[in-house]
Amino acid sequence: MRTKNVTFKSPWLPYLLVAPQLLITAVFFLWPASQAIYQSVLRQDAFGLRTEFVGLANFRRLFADPLYFDAFVTTVVFSALVTGISMLAALVLAIMADRVLRGALAYRTLLIWPYAVAPAVAGVLWWFLFNPTIGLVAYALDVLGYEWNHFVDGTDAMALIVIAAAWRQVSYNFLFFLAGLQAIPRSLIEAAAIDGAGPLRRFLTIQLPLLSPTVFFLMVVNVVYAFFETFGIVHATTRGGPGNDTVILVYKVWRDAFEGLNLGASAAQSVVLMVIVIALTAIQFRFIERRVEY
Protein backbone atom coordinates (compact mmCIF):
# COMPACT_ATOMS: atom_id res chain seq x y z
CA MET A 1 0.00 0.00 0.00
CA ARG A 2 1.34 3.40 -0.95
CA THR A 3 2.08 6.28 1.38
CA LYS A 4 3.07 9.78 0.52
CA ASN A 5 6.62 10.27 -0.74
CA VAL A 6 6.94 12.97 1.88
CA THR A 7 6.20 11.56 5.31
CA PHE A 8 6.55 12.75 8.86
CA LYS A 9 8.51 10.93 11.53
CA SER A 10 7.44 10.23 15.06
CA PRO A 11 7.87 7.12 17.17
CA TRP A 12 4.49 7.41 18.92
CA LEU A 13 2.21 9.91 17.17
CA PRO A 14 0.83 7.60 14.43
CA TYR A 15 -0.17 5.02 17.02
CA LEU A 16 -1.96 7.67 19.03
CA LEU A 17 -3.83 8.80 15.91
CA VAL A 18 -5.07 5.37 14.86
CA ALA A 19 -5.84 4.28 18.43
CA PRO A 20 -9.47 5.53 18.73
CA GLN A 21 -10.55 3.99 15.44
CA LEU A 22 -8.79 0.69 16.13
CA LEU A 23 -10.11 0.51 19.67
CA ILE A 24 -13.72 0.91 18.55
CA THR A 25 -13.22 -1.49 15.67
CA ALA A 26 -11.78 -4.12 18.01
CA VAL A 27 -14.36 -3.73 20.78
CA PHE A 28 -17.53 -3.39 18.71
CA PHE A 29 -16.68 -5.24 15.49
CA LEU A 30 -13.91 -7.80 15.74
CA TRP A 31 -14.70 -9.09 19.21
CA PRO A 32 -18.47 -9.52 18.59
CA ALA A 33 -17.81 -11.12 15.22
CA SER A 34 -15.45 -13.63 16.79
CA GLN A 35 -18.00 -14.21 19.56
CA ALA A 36 -20.64 -14.99 16.96
CA ILE A 37 -18.36 -17.56 15.38
CA TYR A 38 -17.49 -19.01 18.80
CA GLN A 39 -21.13 -19.21 19.97
CA SER A 40 -22.18 -20.82 16.73
CA VAL A 41 -20.36 -24.01 17.74
CA LEU A 42 -21.76 -24.10 21.28
CA ARG A 43 -25.09 -25.11 22.70
CA GLN A 44 -26.53 -23.68 25.89
CA ASP A 45 -29.07 -25.50 28.03
CA ALA A 46 -32.42 -23.89 28.74
CA PHE A 47 -31.26 -22.12 31.89
CA GLY A 48 -27.99 -20.86 30.46
CA LEU A 49 -26.07 -22.78 33.10
CA ARG A 50 -24.13 -25.17 30.97
CA THR A 51 -22.64 -24.78 27.55
CA GLU A 52 -21.11 -27.55 25.55
CA PHE A 53 -19.15 -27.73 22.35
CA VAL A 54 -21.29 -29.19 19.60
CA GLY A 55 -19.17 -28.60 16.52
CA LEU A 56 -21.20 -27.90 13.43
CA ALA A 57 -24.44 -29.24 14.90
CA ASN A 58 -26.02 -25.77 14.98
CA PHE A 59 -25.36 -25.32 11.30
CA ARG A 60 -26.61 -28.79 10.47
CA ARG A 61 -29.82 -28.12 12.34
CA LEU A 62 -30.15 -24.71 10.72
CA PHE A 63 -29.87 -26.04 7.20
CA ALA A 64 -32.29 -28.86 8.00
CA ASP A 65 -34.82 -26.37 9.40
CA PRO A 66 -37.66 -25.79 6.90
CA LEU A 67 -38.38 -22.38 8.50
CA TYR A 68 -34.85 -21.24 7.77
CA PHE A 69 -35.11 -22.47 4.22
CA ASP A 70 -38.39 -20.56 3.83
CA ALA A 71 -36.80 -17.39 5.21
CA PHE A 72 -33.98 -17.83 2.73
CA VAL A 73 -36.38 -18.16 -0.19
CA THR A 74 -38.41 -15.19 1.07
CA THR A 75 -35.25 -13.07 1.28
CA VAL A 76 -34.12 -14.01 -2.21
CA VAL A 77 -37.55 -13.25 -3.71
CA PHE A 78 -37.75 -10.00 -1.76
CA SER A 79 -34.27 -8.87 -2.84
CA ALA A 80 -34.86 -9.78 -6.47
CA LEU A 81 -38.13 -7.83 -6.56
CA VAL A 82 -36.77 -4.77 -4.75
CA THR A 83 -33.64 -4.69 -6.92
CA GLY A 84 -35.52 -5.24 -10.18
CA ILE A 85 -38.33 -2.78 -9.56
CA SER A 86 -36.26 0.02 -8.09
CA MET A 87 -33.56 -0.21 -10.76
CA LEU A 88 -35.99 -0.33 -13.65
CA ALA A 89 -38.02 2.63 -12.39
CA ALA A 90 -34.83 4.57 -11.67
CA LEU A 91 -33.39 3.83 -15.11
CA VAL A 92 -36.52 5.08 -16.89
CA LEU A 93 -36.57 8.26 -14.80
CA ALA A 94 -32.83 8.84 -15.27
CA ILE A 95 -33.09 8.48 -19.05
CA MET A 96 -35.90 11.00 -19.07
CA ALA A 97 -34.08 13.42 -16.76
CA ASP A 98 -30.96 13.11 -18.94
CA ARG A 99 -32.99 14.33 -21.96
CA VAL A 100 -34.29 17.40 -20.19
CA LEU A 101 -32.39 20.60 -20.84
CA ARG A 102 -34.31 23.07 -18.73
CA GLY A 103 -35.49 22.28 -15.23
CA ALA A 104 -33.23 19.24 -14.82
CA LEU A 105 -32.17 20.36 -11.36
CA ALA A 106 -35.76 20.85 -10.26
CA TYR A 107 -36.63 17.31 -11.36
CA ARG A 108 -33.60 15.95 -9.58
CA THR A 109 -34.64 17.66 -6.37
CA LEU A 110 -38.13 16.22 -6.68
CA LEU A 111 -36.80 12.73 -7.23
CA ILE A 112 -33.97 12.32 -4.72
CA TRP A 113 -35.50 13.22 -1.38
CA PRO A 114 -37.19 9.86 -0.60
CA TYR A 115 -33.68 8.56 -0.01
CA ALA A 116 -33.68 10.57 3.24
CA VAL A 117 -36.77 8.78 4.55
CA ALA A 118 -35.80 5.98 6.93
CA PRO A 119 -36.83 2.47 5.78
CA ALA A 120 -38.97 2.06 8.90
CA VAL A 121 -40.80 5.34 8.29
CA ALA A 122 -41.31 4.42 4.62
CA GLY A 123 -42.79 1.14 5.82
CA VAL A 124 -45.22 2.88 8.15
CA LEU A 125 -46.34 5.27 5.39
CA TRP A 126 -47.22 2.49 2.97
CA TRP A 127 -48.69 0.44 5.81
CA PHE A 128 -51.12 3.31 6.29
CA LEU A 129 -51.91 3.71 2.57
CA PHE A 130 -52.61 0.01 2.17
CA ASN A 131 -54.53 -0.36 5.42
CA PRO A 132 -57.49 -2.59 4.48
CA THR A 133 -60.07 -0.49 6.35
CA ILE A 134 -58.94 3.12 5.94
CA GLY A 135 -56.10 3.11 3.38
CA LEU A 136 -56.66 4.97 0.14
CA VAL A 137 -54.76 2.52 -2.05
CA ALA A 138 -56.59 -0.44 -0.54
CA TYR A 139 -59.85 1.39 -1.26
CA ALA A 140 -58.83 2.04 -4.87
CA LEU A 141 -57.91 -1.64 -5.29
CA ASP A 142 -61.26 -2.57 -3.81
CA VAL A 143 -63.02 -0.43 -6.42
CA LEU A 144 -61.00 -2.22 -9.08
CA GLY A 145 -62.21 -5.54 -7.68
CA TYR A 146 -59.17 -6.66 -5.70
CA GLU A 147 -59.68 -7.25 -2.01
CA TRP A 148 -56.41 -6.21 -0.42
CA ASN A 149 -55.59 -7.45 3.05
CA HIS A 150 -51.99 -7.72 4.18
CA PHE A 151 -53.07 -9.06 7.57
CA VAL A 152 -54.21 -12.38 6.14
CA ASP A 153 -52.71 -12.63 2.66
CA GLY A 154 -48.98 -13.37 2.53
CA THR A 155 -48.61 -12.17 -1.05
CA ASP A 156 -50.19 -8.82 -0.20
CA ALA A 157 -47.87 -8.43 2.78
CA MET A 158 -44.86 -9.24 0.62
CA ALA A 159 -45.99 -6.76 -2.03
CA LEU A 160 -46.32 -4.11 0.68
CA ILE A 161 -42.76 -4.46 2.01
CA VAL A 162 -41.38 -4.67 -1.54
CA ILE A 163 -43.09 -1.39 -2.47
CA ALA A 164 -41.93 0.35 0.70
CA ALA A 165 -38.34 -0.86 0.25
CA ALA A 166 -38.21 -0.08 -3.48
CA TRP A 167 -39.86 3.36 -3.19
CA ARG A 168 -36.98 4.66 -1.14
CA GLN A 169 -34.28 2.97 -3.17
CA VAL A 170 -35.40 4.41 -6.53
CA SER A 171 -33.89 7.78 -5.55
CA TYR A 172 -30.54 6.23 -4.87
CA ASN A 173 -30.43 4.30 -8.13
CA PHE A 174 -31.69 7.34 -10.04
CA LEU A 175 -28.72 9.44 -8.89
CA PHE A 176 -26.19 6.84 -9.99
CA PHE A 177 -27.88 6.21 -13.34
CA LEU A 178 -28.09 9.94 -14.01
CA ALA A 179 -24.41 10.41 -13.14
CA GLY A 180 -23.56 7.46 -15.41
CA LEU A 181 -25.62 8.78 -18.31
CA GLN A 182 -24.18 12.26 -18.05
CA ALA A 183 -20.66 10.85 -18.12
CA ILE A 184 -21.25 9.46 -21.63
CA PRO A 185 -19.67 11.83 -24.18
CA ARG A 186 -22.29 13.81 -26.09
CA SER A 187 -20.30 13.44 -29.29
CA LEU A 188 -20.98 9.70 -29.41
CA ILE A 189 -24.70 10.25 -29.25
CA GLU A 190 -24.61 13.12 -31.72
CA ALA A 191 -22.60 11.02 -34.19
CA ALA A 192 -25.18 8.25 -33.96
CA ALA A 193 -27.98 10.76 -34.48
CA ILE A 194 -26.31 12.08 -37.61
CA ASP A 195 -26.03 8.53 -38.87
CA GLY A 196 -29.78 8.31 -38.49
CA ALA A 197 -30.20 6.32 -35.26
CA GLY A 198 -33.37 7.18 -33.36
CA PRO A 199 -33.57 7.67 -29.58
CA LEU A 200 -34.40 4.03 -28.85
CA ARG A 201 -31.65 2.69 -31.08
CA ARG A 202 -29.17 5.13 -29.52
CA PHE A 203 -30.15 3.99 -26.08
CA LEU A 204 -29.81 0.28 -26.85
CA THR A 205 -26.55 0.44 -28.79
CA ILE A 206 -24.69 3.25 -27.04
CA GLN A 207 -26.04 4.28 -23.68
CA LEU A 208 -26.98 0.90 -22.25
CA PRO A 209 -23.64 -0.82 -23.00
CA LEU A 210 -21.72 2.14 -21.59
CA LEU A 211 -23.94 2.08 -18.52
CA SER A 212 -23.34 -1.60 -17.80
CA PRO A 213 -20.69 -1.01 -15.07
CA THR A 214 -23.21 1.19 -13.22
CA VAL A 215 -25.91 -1.45 -13.64
CA PHE A 216 -23.70 -4.12 -12.18
CA PHE A 217 -22.53 -1.94 -9.31
CA LEU A 218 -26.09 -0.97 -8.41
CA MET A 219 -27.22 -4.59 -8.53
CA VAL A 220 -24.75 -5.53 -5.80
CA VAL A 221 -25.56 -2.46 -3.71
CA ASN A 222 -29.29 -3.07 -3.98
CA VAL A 223 -29.01 -6.72 -3.02
CA VAL A 224 -26.97 -5.71 0.03
CA TYR A 225 -29.61 -3.10 0.88
CA ALA A 226 -32.49 -5.57 0.53
CA PHE A 227 -30.67 -8.23 2.55
CA PHE A 228 -29.43 -6.14 5.44
CA GLU A 229 -31.00 -2.71 5.69
CA THR A 230 -34.67 -3.58 5.47
CA PHE A 231 -35.06 -4.92 8.98
CA GLY A 232 -36.88 -1.71 9.96
CA ILE A 233 -39.53 -2.12 7.27
CA VAL A 234 -40.45 -5.63 8.34
CA HIS A 235 -40.24 -4.93 12.05
CA ALA A 236 -42.28 -1.72 11.93
CA THR A 237 -45.04 -3.18 9.74
CA THR A 238 -45.72 -6.87 9.14
CA ARG A 239 -43.50 -8.31 11.92
CA GLY A 240 -42.86 -11.27 9.68
CA GLY A 241 -46.54 -12.04 9.34
CA PRO A 242 -49.01 -13.24 8.33
CA GLY A 243 -47.61 -16.55 9.53
CA ASN A 244 -43.97 -16.46 8.47
CA ASP A 245 -44.62 -15.08 5.01
CA THR A 246 -42.46 -11.98 5.34
CA VAL A 247 -39.72 -13.29 7.63
CA ILE A 248 -36.45 -12.26 5.99
CA LEU A 249 -33.09 -13.54 7.22
CA VAL A 250 -32.12 -10.45 9.19
CA TYR A 251 -35.48 -10.43 10.91
CA LYS A 252 -35.11 -14.09 11.79
CA VAL A 253 -31.68 -13.57 13.38
CA TRP A 254 -33.12 -10.85 15.57
CA ARG A 255 -36.23 -12.82 16.49
CA ASP A 256 -34.36 -16.01 17.35
CA ALA A 257 -31.91 -14.07 19.51
CA PHE A 258 -34.22 -11.65 21.34
CA GLU A 259 -37.59 -13.37 21.34
CA GLY A 260 -36.62 -17.03 20.96
CA LEU A 261 -33.49 -16.63 23.13
CA ASN A 262 -31.81 -19.31 21.09
CA LEU A 263 -28.17 -18.23 21.16
CA GLY A 264 -26.57 -21.04 19.20
CA ALA A 265 -29.09 -20.89 16.37
CA SER A 266 -28.89 -17.10 16.17
CA ALA A 267 -25.09 -17.14 16.18
CA ALA A 268 -25.04 -19.74 13.41
CA GLN A 269 -27.36 -17.51 11.36
CA SER A 270 -25.07 -14.54 12.01
CA VAL A 271 -22.14 -16.51 10.65
CA VAL A 272 -24.09 -17.45 7.52
CA LEU A 273 -25.00 -13.79 7.00
CA MET A 274 -21.37 -12.75 7.48
CA VAL A 275 -20.33 -15.17 4.75
CA ILE A 276 -22.98 -13.65 2.46
CA VAL A 277 -21.83 -10.09 3.18
CA ILE A 278 -18.19 -10.96 2.63
CA ALA A 279 -19.03 -12.69 -0.65
CA LEU A 280 -21.06 -9.70 -1.87
CA THR A 281 -18.34 -7.25 -0.81
CA ALA A 282 -15.70 -9.34 -2.56
CA ILE A 283 -17.76 -9.25 -5.76
CA GLN A 284 -18.04 -5.49 -5.40
CA PHE A 285 -14.29 -5.05 -5.02
CA ARG A 286 -13.45 -7.26 -7.98
CA PHE A 287 -15.78 -5.11 -9.97
CA ILE A 288 -14.21 -1.85 -8.79
CA GLU A 289 -10.75 -3.12 -9.74
CA ARG A 290 -11.97 -4.04 -13.17
CA ARG A 291 -13.56 -0.64 -13.65
CA VAL A 292 -10.31 1.11 -12.81
CA GLU A 293 -8.59 -0.71 -15.70
CA TYR A 294 -11.53 0.04 -17.90
Partner 1 sequence: MIERRPLLSLITHGTLVLGAAIFAFPIWLAFVASTHTGREVNRGLSLLPGDRMWENYATVLGDGLSTAGAPPIGLMLFNSTVMALAIALGKIAISLLSTFAIVYFRFPFRVLAFWTIFITLMLPVEVRILPTFEVVADLGLLNSYAGLSIPLIASATATFLFRQFFMTVPDELAEAARIDGAGPMRFFRDILLPLSRTNLAALFVILFIYGWNQYLWPLLVTTDEGYYTVVMGIQRMANSGDQLPQWHLIMATAILAMLPPVAVIVAMQRLFVKGLVETEK
Report, in angstroms and rounded to the nearest whole number, the Rg of the chain calculated over CA atoms. 24
Query: Is residue 141 close enough to count as binding partner 1 by CB under 8 A?
Result: no
Query: Is residue 48 close enough to count as binding partner 1 by CB under 8 A?
Result: no
Query: Is residue 294 close enough to count as binding partner 1 by CB under 8 A?
Result: no
Q: Give helix 57-64 / helix 66-99 axis angle, nearest 10°.
A: 70
Of 87 and 221, which has the nearer Cβ to partner 1? 221
Query: Is residue 250 close enough to count as binding partner 1 by CB under 8 A?
Result: yes
Binders of partner 1 in range 156-175 (CB under 8 A): 167, 170-172, 175
Query: Is residue 28 close enough to count as binding partner 1 by CB under 8 A?
Result: yes
Alpha-carbon distance values, 37 to 32, 34, 262, 274, 282 (Å): 9, 5, 15, 10, 20
Among candidates 265, 226, 264, which has minimal Cα distance to 246? Answer: 226
Size of the site for partner 1 (CB under 8 A): 104
Interacting residue with partner 1 among 14, 55, 209, 260 (CB under 8 A): 14
The least CB distance from residue 217 to partner 1, in Å, is 8
Phi then psi for residue 8, to 5 deg, are -95, 160
Query: Is residue 151 close enough to count as binding partner 1 by CB under 8 A?
Result: no
Query: Is residue 77 close enough to count as binding partner 1 by CB under 8 A?
Result: no
The least CB distance from residue 153 to partner 1, in Å, is 19
Query: Is residue 36 close enough to count as binding partner 1 by CB under 8 A?
Result: yes
* Segment near partner 1 (CB under 8 A); pick from 64-72, 142-150, 204-212, 265-273: 265-273
Among candidates 252, 272, 111, 244, which has minimal Cα distance to 177? Answer: 111
Show contacts of 191-196: CB within 8 Å, 24+ apart. Answer: none
CA atoms within 13 A on the CB side of 136: 3
Rounded CA separation 223/95 (Å): 22
Binders of partner 1 in range 215-234 (CB under 8 A): 217, 221, 228-229, 231-232
Query: Is residue 89 close enough to count as binding partner 1 by CB under 8 A?
Result: yes
Rounded CA separation 192/214 (Å): 22
**DSSP for 193-232, written as a single string:** HHTT--HHHHIIIIIHHHHHHHHHHHHHHHHHHHHHS-HH
Query: Is residue 83 close enough to count as binding partner 1 by CB under 8 A?
Result: no
Query: Is residue 15 close enough to count as binding partner 1 by CB under 8 A?
Result: yes
Interacting residue with partner 1 among 111, 166, 211, 226 (CB under 8 A): 111
Instruction: Convert residues 173-212 into a mask of x (bound to partner 1 by CB under 8 A) and - (unbound).
Output: --xx--x---------xx--x-----x--x----------
Rounded CA separation 53/80 (Å): 37
Of 74 and 266, which has the nearer Cβ to partner 1? 266
**CA angle (11, 12, 13) in 5-degree steps:** 110
Query: Is residue 51 close enough to count as binding partner 1 by CB under 8 A?
Result: no
Of 158 and 214, which has the nearer Cβ to partner 1? 214
* Omega before 32 within 30 of 0, i.e. cis: no
Of 81 and 214, which has the nearer Cβ to partner 1? 214
Of 15 and 69, which has the nearer Cβ to partner 1? 15
Query: Is residue 68 close enough to count as binding partner 1 by CB under 8 A?
Result: no
